[in-house]
Amino acid sequence: MKAKKLIPTFALLLSLTALTACAGDKTVEFGNYWTGDALISGTEIHETLKYDASFAPTEVTETLDYTFAYTNGSLVTTLDSTTENGKVVYVFKTEMNIDVTYTFKGESSEPFKDSIVSEVRFYEAANNLKPISSNKTIVIHNPTNGNKHTKLSECYRISNYTIQTTYDEKGKGNCVVTSADNADFSFKDKFSPDKDYNFIDNEQLLVALRAISKDTSSATVESYSPFVGNPQKIKFSFADGKSGQKFDLIENGQDFTGDKSRAIAYRKVTMSIDATNSGSSQIAWVATGNTSTYRNVVLRYETPHAYGLGSLVFQLKEITRS
């Protein structure tokens, strides 16, 4: 569909749709490592993670005839367990908020409030994290490319739309994209996963990373991308573990910052897509310390911005579990 080509690159944040081409293994064994004991089914989890968000520009930004700056960035994720029809179901929510200001020839905009909010429901590892449904709402002021702008309003483009995806018992999906400001952009899609691969919903990315054992060096899953119109193969490539680096964290109200900060072992994982003309890789640091304490939590997450202008970086600051 022609409309899909109009999807703004920055709107790909927190999804698996702007990654680099790569091939890999077909299968992966998932575990409920966020519960502290992946071998026990049905363990409850109620967890909130809070991240600081910042923008890391590249030299490409210097070629623009305008500037933009991000402030007050944050990401909050929540993971809760429940039971439906005798099966364990997880509800994973994310909310990203950040302010952006554009400046052109001495004129600056008021700070725009960008936000991306998502929710996905899926079964536990015993059912391969099979997705049930997801929804995502995006309000973004995307930078435009080139250096032939004539006024401030040409330096950004507003995108306001929702993505709703549902799955039937056989895993077949139905996706509806609705634009609040461009009727030509709205569309519907149906798709069927490849049975040879584990399938996850796009909005499961940050939690699915935690379901992979620290002994796994690479894994491939499949996920549907509304920006492409069909399921794609996604490769997780894990580097060797690192240790000794300290992280400032608040854990269940206890202060482990500054002199109290603790070293947490982690592995760096590169996420990539096997597709033509895909973008840059996404990178995450996944804790590999005491799994009953850190539960494969994502300590740091980097996702590319539009046109190679830089990356948004999310750094974990607070953990709350009950």
pLDDT band at 18 (very low <50, low <70, confident <90, very high): very low
d(C-alpha 280, C-alpha 21), whole Å: 9
Average pLDDT for 225-230: 80
d(C-alpha 198, C-alpha 173), whole Å: 14
230, pLDDT greater than 90? no
End-to-end distance of the chain based on CA atoms, in angstroms?
Answer: 45
Q: Phi/psi class of residue 316: alpha, beta or left (left: φ > 0; alpha: ψ in -120 to 50)?
A: beta
pLDDT band at 253 (very low <50, low <70, confident <90, very high): very high
CB 209 within 8 A of CB 237: no
pTM here? 0.91
Residue written as token pair 């899609």 = 189
Q: Which of 4, 12, 2 is nearest to 271 (CA)?
A: 12
Mean pLDDT lowest for which of 146-155, 181-190, 212-221?
A: 181-190
